[in-house]
Amino acid sequence: MSIDLYYTAGSAPCRLVLLVAAALNLELNLKPLDLRAGEQLTPEFLQLNPQHTVPTIVDDGFSLWESRAISRYLVNKYGGAALYPEDPKARALVDQRLDFDLGTLYPRFATYFYPQVFGGAPADEALLKKLEEALKFLDTFFEGQKYAAGSELTLADLSLVATVSTIDAAGISIESYQNVNKWFELVKSTAPKYDEANGQGVEMFRAFVAQLKAKTEL
């Protein structure tokens, strides 16, 4: 039985789930939701996820949301020890990177960028500096390491690459972060089905941002 994934392709958290499924060679029954049309607020979807967020999966009647929780579940149920190692220290490092993405990097990007494209707000230099600080932290994490949490591709890389590719697509330069750039190119070339799972959605996000910016500049 395939796993239902309720998602929107441009969303970084949704693309994380697609990347994990690709790495595990899992079949997903894709169910796109138009958030602007309110499809996440239907009674049927609210029964699955009362928070009405994407991504949401349904696996043999079991519904789950929050992208990193979904990612851990898929690895724990369907295998993939390399993505989420069992050694306590190795797993803790993966968890730290995941938590950094969830609690620091992505929120700082969202707080800085989304008010500009969704609300027409001017760029806030103080918020940009906070995002740049987070990118500097990330650049430091990669010193002496091939991937985000060691020598192998893990959930940490898949989560972070969904965010970093989104930051890049938003037109925020990452060129000055040499370690981040090197890692970014590596993950793009080594994550299974990267273009299908993440690259296509990134381009959709890029086009969506361009459309919103054009409207706010009228």
Write out the catalytic residue numbers. 11
The alpha carbon of residue 57 and the mean position of all alpha carbons in its chain are separated, in whole angstroms, by 15
SS (H, E, C) 59-80: ECCEEEECHHHHHHHHHHHHCC
- Cα separation, 104 vs 120, in Å, equals 23
Helix (H) or strand (E) holding 28: strand 28-32
How far is 14 from 18, CA to CA, in rounded Å?
7
Which letter does DSSP use for residue 145 in this model?
-
| Angle between helix 125-141 and helix 88-100 axes, rounded to 10 deg | 160
- What are the residues facing 59 on neighbouring strands? 62
